Every structure is written in structure tokens, then in C-alpha cells.
Amino acid sequence: MRVRGGIAGYFRYVSGILALSPAVKSQDVHTEKRTPTEGFLRGDVLFKDGSRLHLRELVTTEPSVQRVSYTYPYQSADGMMVFRYDDTDHFPKLPSAPHHKHTGEKDVIAANAPDLQSVLNEIEAMMQA
């Protein structure tokens, strides 16, 4: 994916997709511009059903948007983990390593690196089920 305006453009993109999601009740996202093309964001997204997505991304936008590192933990309204995507290299035998998805407290599966939009889509589909 490409964005205009370097890291500031990416931060606007993230704010926009969260604002457009019909499932999002509120968002609290903090951004840190490190260079014109690199930045860090950390956020907490509250959904209408009381569930939450915490997110962290270290991103570079040159030559295109690339997440240097990420984590997307999603919790139910009662605080139980539903899933978490991350790229911490603690499951090196998975074919998608370091990318993986925790599907429970102890269950881990191979998963391609998601972007925030695909994580939101997954959450929205779960809420509609």
C-alpha cells in the first residue's frame, strides 16, 4: 500500500479507517513521528459491543507502507483474549514465522501479517455472527 504525505499520511489513513468503521464506538490512538517516513502508533479501540482492540505498529512508508513490527490484541467485553496477531519471533517453526495468530491463551496458528483494515474486517464479521 502507498500513502501520500509520508508517515503523517499513514496516521491520517489509520484515523480514517477507524472513523469509518460502523463497529467502532471510540478510539484513543497516539502517534509519534520519528522521521518524515517512519513512526509509531499505539491505540485502544472500543467497539459498540464493549470489546477492545489494542494496537501497536512501528511503520515506515518508503518505498511503500511496511510494518516493521506490530501487535493487534483483541479482547471480548469481559476482558478475555479473543485473538492476537503479532510478529514476535517466539514461534520460529511456524511456516509464517515470525508472523502468527494467537487464537486463545495457549493456541497459536500460522498467519500472514495482517494490516489494521483486515483486523477490523475480522472483528466486524465476528460481531455480526
Written as nine digits, the cell of 9 is 499520511
Instruction: Report the residue count for the chain.
Output: 129
Q: Are 86 and 71 in contact (CB under 8 A)?
A: yes
| Per-residue pLDDT tens listing for the chain (129 residues) | 888 899 999 999 999 999 999 999 999 999 999 999 999 999 999 999 999 999 999 999 999 999 999 999 999 999 999 999 999 999 999 999 999 999 987 899 999 999 999 999 999 999 987
Domains of the chain, residue spans: 6-128
Task: Report yes or no on whether pTM surpasses 0.85.
Answer: yes
Rounded to whole angstroms, how far apart are CA atoms 80 and 118?
21
- How far apart, in Å, do the first and last CA atoms of the chain sit? 29
